Structure 1
Amino acid sequence: MKKKMLAGILAAALVTASLVGCGGKDSTDTASGAKAETASQKAEETSAKAEEKTEAEPEAQTAEQVTLRLMAYNAEATRATYLKYLEEKFPNIKIEFEFVSQDNFDNILNTQLQAGEGPDIIEVGGQTKLLANAGYLLDLTDQGFISSYADAGLQPYTVDGKIYATPLQSWYEGIFYNKKIFRDNGLEVPKTWEEFIDLHKTLEEKGIKAQTMGAQSYEPMMKQSIALVNNMFYSTDESKGFDEKFNVGEGKLEEAWLPAVTEWYKIIEAGCLTPDMLGLSYDQALDEFATEKAAMWECGPWAVETLKEKNPDLDFGMFPIPGPDADKPGWLVGGPGSAFAVNAKSEHVQEALQILEATATQEAQQALVKDNAGSSFVIGVEVDLGDLYTDCDEAFKAGHVYAPWTAVWTNGNAVTEGYGKSLQEVLAGTKTVQEALADADAINDDLREAVGN
């Protein structure tokens, strides 16, 4: 049964992984500030370096319009202002935006890359290391714009000391809550996981649906449970070095995460998350929260504009997912979000590098966060997240934002997908949390063996 489950999850990852050996992950030093160069000097340096890496035409700007295909798993609406900025800045470069849902992204991308028909610019996350090791991504280490980024934003996209992608804004996910429902019922933002569960019971007793969840997707439960792991494991000294050990098979989730995920499971035992949610999609859950049929919904800033469009009068905020200690800020799931990489086989490498160089500017970063709130990893760029996230201030200040699968794990996407799908079985009552964690460990081990690590 386990092998049958693994087959579907491994399919996309092994397409890439089977082609390469296993590369280790090293951090790389970058300058702490932007170089004092003019824009024209940087452009010349970028073009010169690109010529060394490709046989593409040396002239980056030509009279003839060049079309760059950008494949992404975040919807175009979350990049609208940014894409408009690029359109105005580069009249000779047309960005053809291709959205592919997360569930199908790796399969479609890998198929295209193997066929030599991949996009010019690729939105990447947890699959970066596999793609880089397979030779699909352009090495960006020596590009001038790399020094504009803080090391923390580059680390997830660094393989063997080389940088293969540049981060967009950070991402984070917490609990959206309806402030009016809370005020009308004398409720406060919970400070502990126990208070969070009791809050559900109080709301349900008043005839109000407490939390909606689109558990048709594996992601919500996966992320919510990892928020408890953040609170109970990653906030302790015990976790130091664990993710690096997990990458080489020396650390096991079944052992390290079990106490925290068992604590998270209490929300299922209490009937706050129910099997019928497995039939609810992301859009349906969003609609329930937007139309005030549910008091809480776990999600992130990418949903804000849609919520406001559906209900302009919706009064809502976000709070971090709390842990066992009321004296400590809760945690958000997140960190460096997705990033942009350049297809090493692109016929328009120089133009793609121009886009990445422009993305490292304050103007582009502000354009990015306008449609999808988050902090910037470009040094010196400050972002005001607004009142919507006031309840998250202490968590942000404490640095309580983490997602191990995007920050460190080599096989992050495949492991979290398998783990999340096993949690769906936990909600259905056919699997235990310990079995779900064991499934995740098995996926990691199988992928490591597949690439010869």
Structure 2
Amino acid sequence: MKKKIISVVLCAAMAAGVLAGCGAKESDSKSEKTSDGKTKIRMTYWNSEDTVKSLLEYLEKEVPDVTVEFQFIDNSNYDTVVDTQLSAEEGPDIICESPASALKHAKLGYLEELDELGAKYSEAGTNVYSYDGGVYALPGISWFEGIYFNKQMFEENNIALPTTFDEYIDVCKKFQELGVKPLAAGLKSWEPMLKNSMAFVAAEYLSTEKGKNFGEEYREGKTTLDGNWNPYLEKWSEMITEGIYTEDMVGIDHDQALEEFATGKAAMFCSGPWDLETIQEKNPELVIDMMPFYGTKASDGWLIGGPGCGFAVNKSSENKEAAMKVLEAISTVEGQKAFWQDNQGGSSYLEGAEFDLPEAYASASKALEAGNVYCPWNEWGDAASAHETYGTQMQSYLLGEQDLSTTLKNVDASVKELLEK
């Protein structure tokens, strides 16, 4: 893993698109003019139009000879729809891509190289959208996740913030002794255990000289989780043996866990800025902050996160010149700020773009400034979707249905199957 250098810190996180259904119309990318002579291009995204409203308004003013038609495609079938269109040499002019889909589409020759514009962004943002030495998508606003904590609860009980994993476990034990649930967690979803455990592995292994190449080797089928991640996850398993993650949490969903934290029934809650507004609405009096995840050695800590999407240009588009004008406008400080307005929370990878960090993330500021924001499965290439398998297998591990080695072997088998497709 190359060190992730986050160029700027912004103030809230990219909201996930939650609209149901897909209103996508499968049209081609042929050149089209509006009634007033503007070039009409299409841009697809799995997030709702609300998340790019300010950006679209900015583009309308900044690129007056181009009209951007936004096309929402639900995340549940986004890849299928876009893959089908691109394989037919059709589809949108600008495509919002995940790191995995960008790699796939670049390999298949569906995307234009964007090296010149990519040079304006930090390597931390472009390396997950690169293939064979070229940049094929421009990183949008990043996302990150850490550990929200109830500041008042910590201060009233004279509990200091941890700087290591062992200190974090001790903090949890202190709250248990006080009769307070240390960590609210909706383990009905596979995501919490995925992110929490991978953050520890990032701090202990993936960010070190020993583990820096793991992601690249894993996506090439040259290594496995089992035999490499075991000792780190065995240590992290104190989250289970110390009763911080419990079996009954598998029956609790995300919203229930958020409610527990917001109403003061738990001291901490793992999430990102996308939940901040909801937490504050449920309890306007609650004063919260965010701490990063830690390894066994004192550090600035780590956050799980990375580029939320990448803007790519369809190689088959007949509107490439107009699409490039739009990407050039996005690749300015003003363009990044417009995008950030509806996605507050995360970082811009554009060099020179700077925004203020709100108080709700003060204790995570050192991790953000150090660039310690990393999403391990972004480096898994064609096997990136196996991160869900990892999460579900960790649920089974928590429930005692299998040991750790079996858990990791099951993930490795899923990755192998994906890589052989």
The alignment's TM-score, normalised by the length of structure 1, stands at 0.77
Partner residue, 2:388: 417
SS of 2:117's partner is helix
- Contact kept, 8 Å, 2:63 with 2:329, in 1: the verdict is no
Residue matched to 1:19: none
* Matching of residue 131 in structure 1 with residue 102 in structure 2: no
Q: 1:71 to 1:235 in 2, by over 3 A?
A: closer
1:141 paired to 2:114:
yes
SS of 1:154's equivalent in the other structure is helix
- Distance (Å, rounded) in 1 between the aligned partners of 2:199 and 2:381: 20
Q: Distance in 2 between matches of 1:290 and 1:417?
A: 27
Distance 1:55 1:296, change over 3 A: closer
What is aligned with 1:43?
Answer: none
Corresponding residue number in structure 2 for 1:31 = none
**Are the equivalent residues in 2 in contact too, given 1:170–1:334 (CA < 8 A)?**
yes
Unaligned runs of at least 5 residues, structure 1: 1-53
The offset of 1:320, in angstroms, is 0.7
SS of 2:226's equivalent in the other structure is helix
What is the aligned counterpart of 2:190 among 218, 226, 230?
218
Q: CA deviation at 1:446?
A: 1.9
Q: How does 1:137-176 map to 2 (within 5 A)?
A: 138-141=111-114, 144-176=116-148
Deviation at 1:350, TM superposition (A): 4.1
Give the counterpart letter for 2:420 in structure 1. E
CA displacement at 1:403 relative to structure 2: 1.8
Partner of 1:85: 58
CA shift at 1:267, angstroms?
0.6
Count of paired positions:
391
Moved more, 338-347 or 375-384: 338-347
Q: Deviations over 1:238-287 (max 9, x none)?
A: 11322222222222211221111111211112221122322333333333
Pick from 243, 250, 255 the counterpart of residue 215 of structure 2.
243
Deviation at 1:209, TM superposition (A): 2.5
- Preserved contact between residue 164 and residue 299 of structure 2 (Cα < 8 Å): no
- Measured against aligned partners, the alpha-carbon deviations of 1:119-153 in whole angstroms (never above 9, x if no partner) come to 443322232212222344x21335x5333222332
Paired AA for residue 176 in structure 2? E
Counterpart for residue 278 of structure 1: 250
Larger RCO of the pair (alpha carbons < 8 Å, separation 6+): 2
CA displacement at 1:383 relative to structure 2: 2.4
Are 2:295 and 1:323 equivalent residues in the alignment? yes
Q: Give the aligned partner of residue 236 of structure 2.
A: 264
CA contact (8 A) 1:126 1:412 kept: no
1:66 is paired with a residue of what secondary structure? strand
Of the structure 1 ranges 352-361 and 280-289, higher mean CA displacement relative to structure 2 is found in 280-289
- 1:299 aligned residue: 271
Alignment match, 1:22: none
For 1:329-408, list aligned pairs within 5 A: 329-346=300-317, 348-370=319-341, 371-406=343-378, 408=379
Partners in 2 of 1:311 and 1:84 — Cα distance? 33
TM-superposition CA deviations, 1:280-337 (whole Å, max 9, x none): 3333333333333322111122222333344333311111111112x32221122333
Equivalents in 2 of 1:60, 1:441: separation in Å?
51
CA distance in 2, matches of 1:378, 1:55: 28
1:372 is paired with a residue whose SS is coil
TM-score between both structures, scaled by the size of structure 2: 0.82
Write the deviation string for residues 407-447 of structure 1: whole angstroms up to 9, x where unpaired.
Answer: x3213522212111111211222122222221222222222
State whether residues 60 and 350 of structure 1, in contact with CA within 8 Å, keep that contact through their aligned partners in structure 2: no
CA contact (8 A) 2:45 2:72 kept: yes
Question: Match of 1:66, as an amino acid?
Answer: K
Pair 336,112 (structure 1): closer, same or farther in 2 beyond 3 Å:
same
Q: Kindly indicate whether the alpha-carbon contact (under 8 Å) linking 1:171 and 1:336 is maintained by their aligned counterparts in 2.
A: yes
Q: What's the CA shift for 1:80?
A: 4.3
Deviation of 1:58 after TM superposition, in Å, equals 8.9
**Higher fraction of helix:** 1
Segments of structure 2 that go 5 or more residues without pairing to the other structure are 1-27
**CA offsets per residue over residues 193-244 of structure 1, 9 Å max, x none?**
2222232232233332321222232222111111110121123221132222
Is residue 190 of structure 1 aligned with residue 162 of structure 2?
Answer: yes
Q: Distance in 2 between matches of 1:337 and 1:412?
A: 18
Q: Secondary structure at the match of 2:274?
A: helix
> How far 1:169 moved relative to its partner?
1.9
Measure, in 2, the Cα distance between the counterparts of 1:150 and 1:449.
32
Distance in 1, Cα, partners of 2:318 & 2:304: 37
SS in 2 for 1:172: strand
Whether the 8 Å CA contact 1:56–1:349 is kept in 2: the answer is no
Distance 1:131 1:278, change over 3 A: farther
